[in-house]
């Protein structure tokens, strides 16, 4: 859903406008400049088109930051996550220097900006709004957040600018996404058992819909249903067999894998566990991580892995080895299969559905902020407790690609002294989030923005 952020210097009436658009009294309006408020997001449902509205007041207040600095941090956050910005000014105050520096900042973004002249409570005051066109965002939308004047017109312009259409219901969206086949890239080095796996899938449930050649020549797409669900297998092995490309030419295999990974919703990385992970397996795994793709590690040829040992010990030993070999792919669940003997293929599909389902969750903004603030407070790690170090202001989850079967979440932290954050500590924070919301198979992207 699109997000509209309200930016402006303190006391122009951002909260009042937020409340008016949200249609309920969520954030408290104060008459004092710079009063601390929590930044909140709410839905604006004033018509069939729905959007989120974000109030940027109060971030960083009560800190050592000076006011204008605070306003800039707020604006930076809003600029980052919003699709459209409402730049609120106060007709009773005219253009102030802070308005001007904010305007300068807003001009640098390529986001839509609607200038909103608030406190246009009377005809006399409305006359004053003309002055604001000097600031460079066209004519201001005249509103009175407190009295409700001009709000419907403002909503219409928001809907126009964002080109919003009537919102699909959640059920309709779920239905549409689950009707779409889940694209599975079956990747791994030659001889790992990829073709055997595809054959095993078709052997179990012969509901082959069709053989449709892939959009690239690097792979063959095969459609199938399994347990009533529709899948599109991007089979990188099939084409090799057909085209008789030289097996030994590793580079081709890598390129084919890359194309398949890019197109996939979920990658099945097939490892031959009889021979163990090799350089090429790690290269492919690396590509999956770099492309931020959901992944399951398929430990194939399990029948050949210490076949005479106890089943449980074998599995534990193998899992331990794989975790070590693919430590950088720790989000991927492991499934041991024997494609040749048709063992555990059903389990693999159960896991695939778990990944798809788990990814649909989301961690609430309130919970997320509390969790991160508490963790950083209680586990200083390399950051130390000193106020001179990294200071988290706000963290939010953005789903960069919304309309996909398995969305990959991006956790963006806005902070002061952002450069103090280390990769190691970010991974630790990721593990804390995963305790709250495991999302197996789904990579999390963690990043920090803000002043160095």
What are residue 335's DSSP bridge partners?
298
Which x/- pattern over 300-339 shows residues binding ligand GDP (rule: CB under 6 A)?
A: xx-xx---------------------------------xx
Nearer to ligand GDP, 188 or 407 (CB): 188
Confirm or reject binding of residue 39 to ligand GDP (CB under 6 A).
Answer: no
38: nearest Cα among 52, 53, 55: 55
Question: Among residues 141 and 186, whose Cβ is nearest to ligand GDP?
Answer: 186
What interhelical angle do 236-243 and 250-263 show, nearest 10?
A: 140
Q: Pick the stretch among 35-43, 47-55, 120-128, 189-197 that binds ligand GDP (CB under 6 A).
A: 189-197
- Is position 257 an interface residue for ligand GDP (rule: CB under 6 A)? no
For the chain, percent helix, then strand, then coil, each to nearest 5? 40, 20, 40
CB 263 within 8 A of CB 182: no
Nearer residue to ligand GDP within complex by CB, 208 or 367: 208
Strands 112-118 and 84-90: parallel
| Residue 8 sits in the site that holds ligand GDP (CB under 6 A) | no
Answer yes or no whether residue 157 interacts with ligand GDP by CB under 6 A: no
Its sign, for the CA torsion 55, 56, 57, 59, is positive
CB of 219 to ligand GDP, least distance (A): 12
The Cα-based distances of 166 to 50, 81, 160, 171, 286 in angstroms read: 7, 22, 12, 14, 40
346 annotated among ligand-binding-site residues: no
In the chain the first and final C-alpha atoms are separated, in Å, by 31
Total binding residues for ligand GDP by CB under 6 A?
Answer: 16
Q: Is 418 annotated as a binding residue?
A: no
Check whether 405 is labelled as a binding-site residue: no
Classify strands 41-44 and 84-90 as parallel, antiparallel or unpaired: unpaired
DSSP state of 188: -
191 near ligand GDP (CB under 6 A): yes
Given the structure tokens 């024997």, which residue do they identify?
338
Residue 178 tokens, joined: 């689950």
Please tell me whether residue 193 binds ligand GDP under the rule CB under 6 A: yes
Measured at the alpha carbon of residue 331, what is the angle toward residues 327 and 337, in degrees to the nearest 5?
85
DSSP per position, 275-336: T---HHHHHHHHHHHHTT--EEEEEE-GGGSSTTS-HHHHHHHHHHHHHHHTGGGTTS-EEE
**Helices and strands counted in the chain (H then E):** 14, 16
Per residue in 378-406, is it b (16+ CB within 10 Å) or e — as a string? eeeeebeeeeeebbbbbbbbeeeeeeebb
- Minimum Å gap between C-beta 273 and ligand GDP is 9
Q: Measured from the CB of residue 190, what is the shortest distance to ligand GDP in angstroms?
A: 4
Q: Which stretch binds ligand GDP (CB under 6 A): 109-117, 184-192, 276-284, 324-332?
A: 184-192
Closer CB to ligand GDP, 117 or 192, in the complex: 192
* 86: nearest Cα among 149, 27, 143: 143
Q: Check the annotation: does 305 bind a ligand.
A: no
- As given in the structure block, the two tokens for residue 199 are 């054959």
The distance of closest approach from Cβ of residue 357 to ligand GDP in the complex, given in angstroms and rounded to an integer, is 27
66 is in an annotated binding site: no
Stretch in the footprint of ligand GDP (CB under 6 A) among 125-133, 156-164, 186-194, 221-229: 186-194
Please answer whether residues 69 and 102 qualify as being in contact, where contact means their C-beta atoms are separated by less than 8 angstroms: no
Q: State which residue, 291 or 343, has the beta carbon closest to ligand GDP.
A: 343
By CB under 6 A, residue 256 contacts ligand GDP: no
Q: Is 25 annotated as a binding residue?
A: no
What is the footprint of ligand GDP within residues 214-253 (CB under 6 A)? 237
User: Known binder of ligand: residue 193?
Assistant: yes
By CB under 6 A, name the one of 340, 373, 410, 449 that touches ligand GDP.
340
Which of 13, 58, 150, 190 is close enough to bind ligand GDP by CB under 6 A? Answer: 190
In DSSP terms, which residues pair with 270 in a beta bridge? 298
**Minimal distance in Å, beta carbon 196 to ligand GDP?**
3
- Applying CB under 6 A, among 56, 129, 195, 416 the residue interacting with ligand GDP is 195
Residue with tokens 């008789």: 244
What residues line the site for ligand GDP (CB under 6 A)?
A: 188, 190-196, 237, 300-301, 303-304, 338-340
| Known binding residues for GTP | 8-15, 55-59, 118-121, 188-195, 235-239, 300-303
| Known binding residues | 8-15, 55-59, 118-121, 188-195, 235-239, 300-303
């Amino acid at each position: 859903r699109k997000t509209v952020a309200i930016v402006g210097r303190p006391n122009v009436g951002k909260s009042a406008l937020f409340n008016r658009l949200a249609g309920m009294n969520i954030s408290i309006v104060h008459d004092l400049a710079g009063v601390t408020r929590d930044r909140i997001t709410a839905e604006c449902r004033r018509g069939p088109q729905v959007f989120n509205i974000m109030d940027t007041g109060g971030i960083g207040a009560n800190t050592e930051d000076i006011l204008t600095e605070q306003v800039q941090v707020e604006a930076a956050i809003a600029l980052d996550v919003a699709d459209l910005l409402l730049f609120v000014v106060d007709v009773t105050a005219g253009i102030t220097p802070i308005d001007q520096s904010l305007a300068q900042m807003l001009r640098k973004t390529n986001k839509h900006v609607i200038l909103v002249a608030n406190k246009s409570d009377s005809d006399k005051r409305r006359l004053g709004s003309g002055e604001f066109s000097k600031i460079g965002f066209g004519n201001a939308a005249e509103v009175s957040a407190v009295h409700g004047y001009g709000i419907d017109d403002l909503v219409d312009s928001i809907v126009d600018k964002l080109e919003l259409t009537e919102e699909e219901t959640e059920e309709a969206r779920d239905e549409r996404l689950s009707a779409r086949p889940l694209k599975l890239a079956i990747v791994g080095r030659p001889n790992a058992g990829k073709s055997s796996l595809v054959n095993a899938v078709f052997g179990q449930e012969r509901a082959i819909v069709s053989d449709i050649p892939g959009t690239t020549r690097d792979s063959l797409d095969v459609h199938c249903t399994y347990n009533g669900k529709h899948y599109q297998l991007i089979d990188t092995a099939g084409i090799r067999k057909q085209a008789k490309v030289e097996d030994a030419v590793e580079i081709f295999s890598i390129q084919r894998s890359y194309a398949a990974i890019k197109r996939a919703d979920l990658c099945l990385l097939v490892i031959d566990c009889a021979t163990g992970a090799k350089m090429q397996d790690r290269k492919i795994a690396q590509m999956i991580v770099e492309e931020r793709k959901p992944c399951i590690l398929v430990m194939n040829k399990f029948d050949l892995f210490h076949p005479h040992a106890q089943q449980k010990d074998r599995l534990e030993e193998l899992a331990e080895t794989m975790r070590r070999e693919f430590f950088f792919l720790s989000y991927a669940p492991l499934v041991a299969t024997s494609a040749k003997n048709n063992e555990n293929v059903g389990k693999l599909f159960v896991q695939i559905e778990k990944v798809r389902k788990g990814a649909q969750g989301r961690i609430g903004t309130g919970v997320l902020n509390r969790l991160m603030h508490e963790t950083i407070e209680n586990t200083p790690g390399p950051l130390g407790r000193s106020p001179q170090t990294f200071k988290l202001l706000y963290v939010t989850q953005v789903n960069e690609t919304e309309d996909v079967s398995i969305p990959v979440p991006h956790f963006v932290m806005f902070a002061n002294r952002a450069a103090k954050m280390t990769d190691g500590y970010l991974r630790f924070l990721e593990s804390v989030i995963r305790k709250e919301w495991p999302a197996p198979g789904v990579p999390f992207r963690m990043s920090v923005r803000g002043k160095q």
